[in-house]
Amino acid sequence: MLDEAMDIGRRELTCLSEGDVFGAQKLSSERERILDDALDGLSTGNLRALADKLVEMKGLQDEISGKARELHATLKRDLTNLKRQTRRISGYSFGSGNMPRLATRRFINKKS
């Protein structure tokens, strides 16, 4: 079961590298379920016997977490740039006279 979890972890890492967050989330849930099932009934002695596999699994988890952090930072940077660009474009629109109708009619005419 640990080998299957490692395989799923590698596919999850590939999904994150490609930017497929939803696929990675699905694989992550599946990997979590398999690991819970695998480690649920093991005694301490059996865990010691599987120590190498668990260390390898931890290394893979560290890679997955690192890739997720990189993806998060990229997304944050892209959103910040998009916000700046939207602000810049709206400034050009306002300056060129393309004001929305609501902005030109802010005041109510009491006579009409």
**What's the first-to-final CA gap in the chain, in angstroms?**
77
| Rg of the chain on CA atoms, in Å | 26
Tell me, yes or no, if the pTM score tops 0.85: no
Task: Please report, for the chain, the start and end positions of each structural domain, with discontinuous segments joined by +.
Answer: 2-94
Q: For residues 13 and 11, give the distance between their C-alpha atoms in angstroms, rounded to a whole number.
A: 5
Residue by residue, pLDDT tens for the chain (112 residues) are 888 888 888 898 888 888 888 888 899 999 889 888 877 877 777 777 788 888 888 898 999 999 999 999 999 999 999 998 888 877 766 666 665 555 555 666 666 5
Task: Give, in order, the Cα–Cα distances in Å from 36 to each of 32, 33, 42, 78.
Answer: 6, 5, 10, 36
Residue whose structure tokens are 């695998």: 38
